Amino acid sequence: MTDPLVIFTPSGKRGRFPVGTPVLTAARQLGVDLDSVCGGRGICSKCQIQPSYGEFSKHGVTVADDALTEFNAVEERYDRVRGLKTGRRLGCQACIQSDVVIDVPPESQVHRQVVRKAATDRDIVMDPATALYYVEVAEADMHDPSGDLERLETALRDQWDIDGITAPLSVLRKLQPVLRKGAFKATVALNRDHNDGKHRLIDIFPGFDETPIFGLAIDLGSTTIAAHLCDLKTGAVIGSSGIMNPQIRFGEDLMSRVSYSMMNKGGDVEMTTVVREAINTLASELASEAQIDAARIMETVFVCNPVMHHLLLGIDPVELGQAPFALATAESMTLDARDLDLNALNPAGRVYILPCIAGHVGADCAAVALSEEPQKSKDLALIVDVGTNAEILLGNTERVLACSSPTGPAFEGAQISSGQRAAPGAIERIEIDPVTKEPRFRVIGCDLWSDEDGFAEATAGSGITGICGSGIIEAVAELRIAGLLDPKGLIGNAEQTGTARCEATGRTNSYLIHDATADGGPRITVTQGDIRAIQLAKSALYAGARLLMDEMGVDTVDRVVLAGAFGAHISAKHAMVLGMIPDVPLDKVSSAGNAAGTGARIALCSKAARTSIEQTVREITKIETAIEPKFQEHFVNANAIPHATDPFPNLLSIVDLPDVSFNTAGSGGEAGGRRRRRG
């Protein structure tokens, strides 16, 4: 019988192992980043893993309840003494019985993911929905039958011109003791709805309390969750952090998660539960790092794509997986934190979720529009938020268009043979000498290039572990520039390219970047399969942009803005060589950083911004790539590197792309073949 298939997330690495193989052994053989310091004796708990059960159509497996061996005595003892989270196993003790999908949580990874979604500087006119007000309330009186809440309302009306408030039961319970502790002087935290102007009592403190209150701006992505902790008076970002979205174990892309919900009863509830737990963990860690009381976090703003939007709210996303891709609601929402089980925050805190644009274009795209304001641009701007699902905006003062494009996780290092998420030791930059065909590279956590003195010593701690998204983009583009890759995406063999680094791998070839096997390290290559995965991802991205350009009636754009954490680390030149983005002068390509996160911060700090984006979203024209007949044509043409039909004159004026061909018959150009003339 065929050995069981083991699939590890978030790395995507997989392999077959005999029944009875410990999960830790399988992880080590596949090069999965799973920690262990006790030698597999079940003492250190570093190798905790989370198996997932049910049907995974994306992976083509069904995981049975008995896919791993039952809890053994070592795990039972550890659980009894130190405790294991629900569903967790020790990788050194759990053994493989049949096909299984196993998630390696962040705390079990030696090389933690670097969630590169730092806050960018932005001037914001402060107009927060939640603010503090000091009031002096009339004392209780035998001759006045009004309650404490009513007398608080009177004080707010007389002293702050605030008319009418509501109070949840949790705050009402503490109202009387707090008022009396402060001798009927108090500081209240009020949240004002930007639409109806009504005020809600979030918390109350005795006397004059000028301790800051805070808000969270959260970009809930399909791969990562990034949060900025902001002072609600000044707008200052006092902490930023991010974690992997634990839903990855149910599927790396959005449609895989929709499919998991369809195929597994209660699957949507599972995914909602784990993402809310992750948000609570992230909020608690941010509060701890900033040394503040988490109860002072009184408001949270979320931006997310439609599938994440529904799973956050506890809505089954099944309708988003089939035409007409209907949202349960596209409107903005204001909720209580407890509605989303956000118990790490102030229990009466408020949550605002930006509006979605359409079934596949979510609140994250609305946040990018709020941050970058294409509707105010005099020139034609193409704004691309690069991620597992790319959101694209094209517009100027006359019109704004939007679409989403299913790029998949390849840009983030998944589905790549030596790929990994961004973490210390991952190759993030690479150059290939067009004459010698030799590579040099940089890894996350080290500013030196691999051919510079001190590189080996500087990377001794992290090692060289794989290649992340920005690295694979540059690697493919550099292969093309160096003449090792032809326009169709074929890697030449050693004879055709003149370098032994191009190695035969079955019927195709691969390029060797780094070989540390002599020291027990990895062998990092770019394979033909890797090239194909990148071609598919970049073709979807470019085809989406071309559809918007068709609708706008243009063949060129004036400028390109790369948004998102990944977009911030992409080289503009390499992105254009690859054909990810339309041809423009390189100085017209800029990075907006985490624009979705910036939009979330703006909405957190400004009621006027919320009103503005709700109006803007209604004026954006949505293009549905899934039903556009020209999408496939654009997709096929975009498979070439950089493109089969679209000219790239700006690119070709600064970069020579060798005119080589490495077809399966082996006849094509030789190393250093004819070069395309400069435009």
Q: What is the pLDDT of residues 635-650, one digit of tens each?
A: 999 999 999 999 999 9
The predicted model gives 242-264 an average pLDDT of 86
Could you tell me which of 363, 348, 388 has the C-alpha nearest to residue 311?
Answer: 363
- Mind spelling out the 3-state secondary structure of 430-484? EEECCCCCCEEEEECCCCCCCCCCCHHHHCCCCCCCEECHHHHHHHHHHHHHCCC
Instruction: Return the H-helix or E-strand segment holding 155.
Output: helix 148-160
**Residue 397 pLDDT class (50, 70, 90 cuts):** very high
**3 state DSSP class of 60:** coil
- Residue 280: predicted pLDDT: 96
Angle at which helix 363-372 crosses helix 595-605, to 10 degrees, equals 80
Decide if pLDDT at 4 tops 70: yes
- Residue 43: predicted pLDDT: 76
The predicted model gives 478-486 an average pLDDT of 97
What are the pLDDT digits (tens) for 417-448? 888 777 788 899 999 999 999 999 999 989 99
Greater confidence (106 vs 264) lies with 264
Strands 237-244 and 224-231: antiparallel
What are the pLDDT digits (tens) for 490-499? 999 999 999 9
Burial of 211 (0-12, 13-18, 19+ CB in 10 A): exposed
Decide if pLDDT at 667 tops 50: no
Decide if pLDDT at 524 tops 90: yes
Decide if pLDDT at 675 tops 50: no
The predicted model gives 132-160 an average pLDDT of 91
Question: Looking at beta carbons, which pairs linking 23-29 to residues 24 or more positions away fall under 8 Å?
Answer: 23/47, 23/49, 23/68, 23/89, 23/91, 23/92, 23/94, 23/95, 23/96, 23/102, 24/91, 24/92, 26/96, 27/91, 27/104
Could you tell me which of 340, 303, 384, 393 has the C-alpha nearest to residue 603?
Answer: 303
Domains with residue ranges and CATH for the chain: 5-108 (3.10.20.30), 130-206 (3.10.20.880), 214-364 (3.30.420.480), 372-408+534-652 (no CATH), 410-528 (no CATH)
Greater confidence (107 vs 672) lies with 107
Contact criterion met (CB below 8 Å) for 424 and 445? yes
- Residue 594: predicted pLDDT: 84
Contact criterion met (CB below 8 Å) for 534 and 476? yes
Contact criterion met (CB below 8 Å) for 91 and 22? yes
Contact criterion met (CB below 8 Å) for 312 and 276? yes
The predicted model gives 509-529 an average pLDDT of 90
The predicted model gives 40-64 an average pLDDT of 85
The predicted model gives 520-544 an average pLDDT of 91
Decide if pLDDT at 511 tops 90: yes
- Residue 518: predicted pLDDT: 83
- Work out whether the CA dihedral 177, 181, 184, 189 comes out positive or negative: negative
**Residue 414 pLDDT class (50, 70, 90 cuts):** low
Decide if pLDDT at 566 tops 70: no
- Residue 113: predicted pLDDT: 55
Which of 365-374, 383-392, 521-530 has the lowest average pLDDT?
A: 383-392
- On average, the pLDDT of the chain sits at 89
- Residue 678: predicted pLDDT: 38
Q: Is the pTM of this model over 0.95?
A: no
Alpha-helix residue ranges (DSSP H) falling in 212-253: none
User: Tokens 């009177």 — which residue?
Assistant: 154
**Residue 663 pLDDT class (50, 70, 90 cuts):** confident
φ and ψ at 183, to 5 degrees? 55, 45
Across 28-32, 72-76, 436-440, 663-667, the highest mean pLDDT is recorded for 436-440
- Residue 669: predicted pLDDT: 39
What are the pLDDT digits (tens) for 8-39? 887 778 889 999 999 999 988 887 878 876 66
- Work out whether the CA dihedral 539, 426, 464, 103 comes out positive or negative: negative
- Residue 172: predicted pLDDT: 95
- Residue 449: predicted pLDDT: 96
- Residue 121: predicted pLDDT: 62
Contact criterion met (CB below 8 Å) for 83 and 90? no
- Residue 28: predicted pLDDT: 85
Residue 280 β-bridge partners: none
**3 state DSSP class of 21:** coil
Between CA 642 and CA 469 the distance in angstroms is: 18
The fraction of the chain above a pLDDT of 90, given in percent, is 67
Contact criterion met (CB below 8 Å) for 65 and 108? no
- Residue 677: predicted pLDDT: 38
- Residue 242: predicted pLDDT: 87
The fraction of the chain above a pLDDT of 70, given in percent, is 94
